[in-house]
Chains A and B, each alone.
Chain A
Amino acid sequence: MTDLTKLKISEARDALRKGEVTSVELTEACLVAIDQADALGAFVHKTPEVAMGQAKSADDRIKAGDAPDLCGIPLGIKDLFCTKGVPSQAASAILNGFKPEYESTVTSQLFGAGAVMLGKLNMDEFAMGSSNETSTYGNAINPWRRGNDDAALTPGGSSGGSASAVAADLCLAATGTDTGGSIRQPAAFTGITGIKPTYGRCSRWGIVAFASSLDQAGPMTKDVRDAAIMLEAMCGHDPKDSTSADLAVPNFEAMLTGDIKGKVIGIPREYRMDGMPDEIEALWSEGRRMLEDAGAVIRDISLPHTKYALPAYYVIAPAEASSNLARYDGVRYGHRAKLSQGDGITEMYEKTRAEGFGAEVQRRVMVGTYVLSAGFYDAYYNRARKVRTLIKKDFEDVFAEGIDAILTPATPSAAFELGKVHTDPVEMYLNDVFTVTVNLAGLPGISVPTGLDKQGLPLGLQLIGHPWEEGDLLNTAYALEQAAGFVAKPSQWW
């Protein structure tokens, strides 16, 4: 078999079960591809020994006939997931040298199912960013380029390393996390599929916390079928996460029939933004037509509070971050600043956090501190939480009127050049304009690659579903994927 790294999870699973390939062969092929791709900055901690050990065990399980879907499948793991004995530092200098003594619930479920870890993947520091430019490891690079222009483009963020690695065929799939769009935006920028499930589907235990009421893990894969397979393995109730849902996890792959006849798809008018590029507008219309051709009923809808989602997010997420990141104090793990004569514990905290946190993380921790401080709590934080209630109600209202799923663009543009949007934080925040509503409302959302822009860069559409109905959402995404027939790949320059 050639080009083992280009296999999808479903193809590799079937080949492994038939004995046409071994997990050791698959894993070795990925490790070679990873070593040739340092220019992408995707893998930041390589774990070849862990990978080969897991691959050998997986081959034994497959031989014994005990092979769950992910058995023997080589994956990349976002640096936000704590992995036992392997550096896990959320791309932050403040966690330099941190090697957890425990395994996150999601990764332990994946490894329990026989999956293989190739290494840890680059990301924005503490998942705060939309371009992977805030990482202590340096930028992750998008394998896609604009035609023959060799300018380095962002893979998006925060799961930029995951997106780059999957798009460049360094691994068969990767884990991501999504607080405001961090799975769906990078997936769209790199021509892959990414789903953020309903809040509570995946345990957050052992995932470095950013904004606890918004954070969700999810898979980043080469197609919708793989997303269904991998999501099922990541989901499930966990007593160690009090917000984890005690609900049965369906067989998502079995729900992929491609039949969406009679499904009602909403097109929200508020997502038509001023200054939106024509190509995004055209892609959206095209997606609408594709779903209509597949038998869906298209209906224009209104989600009136959409405009207020980003400002609400930029109160709630920093507020929660300022609280979650208080634990990085130089006492229990990670970096501690060198102290001067006479420095006490307050100086230790202040110097450690100034040295360990990057500029964007410092900015958000301080904004969060401000909006939670005495005298401003009601004006900012409580008001934002009330607006969040209204944003969720917008979705509940259209679902109650019979809408099965909502179609929107995934991003307001294609991948942009690294180093170009840096100057104004608020301008960078606008990247999440189409995705952040979904986190605020706790809904499942999926980004599906559906076309290329005129410079040859991938563009994605987002589908938003009912809470806990990931299976139905994946099926609608599957129908969209089949109609779009997106097969383009970046040509290898790295």
Chain B
Amino acid sequence: MSIDIETAARVAKLARIRVEDDALPALAQEFSNILGFIEQLNEVDVDGVEPMVSVEPMRLKRRQDGVTDGGMQGKILSNAPDAREGFFAVPKVVE
């Protein structure tokens, strides 16, 4: 399957990664190569096969729905590129 430049641009947008226009043709070509490799999977007969959910069958454990942690605002904000007045700060999102 060949990926065109518009598709490459759409994927970059969905992934929230800025790709300059002049880099799109090479990116589209790389996607095409990788997807060409992946397309071998179409040779496999998967009729009636369940898609794998968990590699080792095990029942997920249950736990009390209770508070076990908290009260560490300072620690949570300590690595933020921009934290103000106890919050993460980002560019304006609401007009």
Contact = CB atoms under 8 A, between A and B. Distances in A.
- Our verdict on whether A and B bind, yes or no, reads yes
Interface of A: 97-101, 198-200, 213, 239, 242-243, 245-246, 305, 307-308, 310-312, 314-315, 322, 326, 329-336, 339, 343-351, 353-354, 357, 362-363, 365-367, 369-371, 373, 380, 382-390, 392, 424-426, 429, 440-442, 467
Nearest to B48: A386
B67 to A, nearest CB: 15
Contact of B81 (A335, A370, A390): A335
Interface of B: 3, 7-8, 11-12, 14-19, 27, 30-31, 33-35, 37-44, 46, 49-56, 58, 60-61, 63, 72, 75-76, 78-82, 88, 90-93
Contacts of B27: 366
A343 B51 contact: no
Counting chain A CB atoms within 10 Å of each CB, the highest count among B14, B42, B78 belongs to B14
Given A344-B93, A386-B49, A389-B52, A426 B79 contact: no
A357 B43 CA distance: 34
Given A101-B75, A311-B40, A383-B41, A362 B55 contact: no
Contact of B19 (A101, A245, A354): A354
Given A198-B56, A322-B15, A305 B90 contact: no
A274 to B, nearest CB: 15
A362 B51 contact: no
A458 B55 CA distance: 32
* Residue with the highest number of chain B CB atoms closer than 10 Å, among A242, A322, A354, A424: A354
A489 to B, nearest CB: 37
Given A245-B56, A336-B81, A365-B15, A315 B88 contact: no
A369 B56 contact: no
A441 B76 CA distance: 36
B51 A307 contact: no
Contacts of B80: 331-333
B17 A365 contact: yes
A442 B55 contact: yes
Given A370-B11, A385-B51, A386-B46, 14 more contacts: A99-B78, A101-B78, A245-B56, A311-B38, A333-B79, A333-B81, A334-B81, A348-B90, A350-B17, A353-B16, A354-B17, A365-B15, A425-B33, A442-B55
